[in-house]
Structure 1
């Protein structure tokens, strides 16, 4: 919508400038300091309009270049942050794996320790039973 309004306003301004130029067809003397030229007023108006349009184009081009540069810098910074966060996530995943392995080993050792205690109890019961057997003979 904004582009359409801008286009309509531009067209109206161009028509007004053309009408103004057509009403001023007489020749005028233009002095450049070192020389003077006689030309129709319509050409002078159109020439000045062209120079103004070029100046506006140059200013807008420099702004676009500056914005594009800022966008690239922000994109690069975003990519660097994303890589850093990805590396941190990978590091945390590795830490999680290590902790998970430790936990499994720890619980495995506890189970082994409990089984060793059961084996020791069974061995001691076997010895007691062996002693009872040998004492009964």
Structure 2
């Protein structure tokens, strides 16, 4: 829907420029640094609008290319960070397992330790 509205407003703008150009049909002299040209004001207006549209289009294409490149780089960085996170989570899991084994061994050693000697225990 957004694209349709954009096209609609572009068409309205193009029609307004064309009407404005047709209302200004006098001949004009354009002076360049190396010469002059006598032409219709309609042609000057339409060519100026076309040139402006081309510049805006080129800017949009370049901007889109830069944004897509940045997005690709961000996705690569994200994938790298996710791989690092997964590796760290595996390392944390392994360390927790080692800690639990060590704690279980210490509990087992404490349970079998008799500070007063080899006294029988009451069941």
Could you tell me how far 1:32 is from its partner in structure 2?
0.9
1:1-137 residue pairs with structure 2 within 5 A?
Answer: 1-98=1-98
Could you tell me how far 1:54 is from its partner in structure 2?
1.8
Number of residue pairs matched by the alignment:
113
The residue matched to 1:19 in structure 2 has which SS?
helix
Gaps of 5+ in 1: 114-120, 122-137
Gaps of 5+ in 2: 113-119
Could you tell me how far 1:108 is from its partner in structure 2?
9.1
Structure scoring higher RCO (CA < 8 A, sep ≥ 6) equals: 2
TM-score, length-scaled by structure 1:
0.64
The residue matched to 2:25 in structure 1 has which SS?
coil
Structure number having the greater helix percentage: 1
Could you tell me how far 1:84 is from its partner in structure 2?
0.6
CA distance in 1, matches of 2:63, 2:31: 34
TM-score, length-scaled by structure 2:
0.69
Deviations 1:50-69 (Å, cap 9, x if unpaired)?
Answer: 11112212322332233223
Deviations 1:62-95 (Å, cap 9, x if unpaired)?
Answer: 3223322322232122111101111112223333
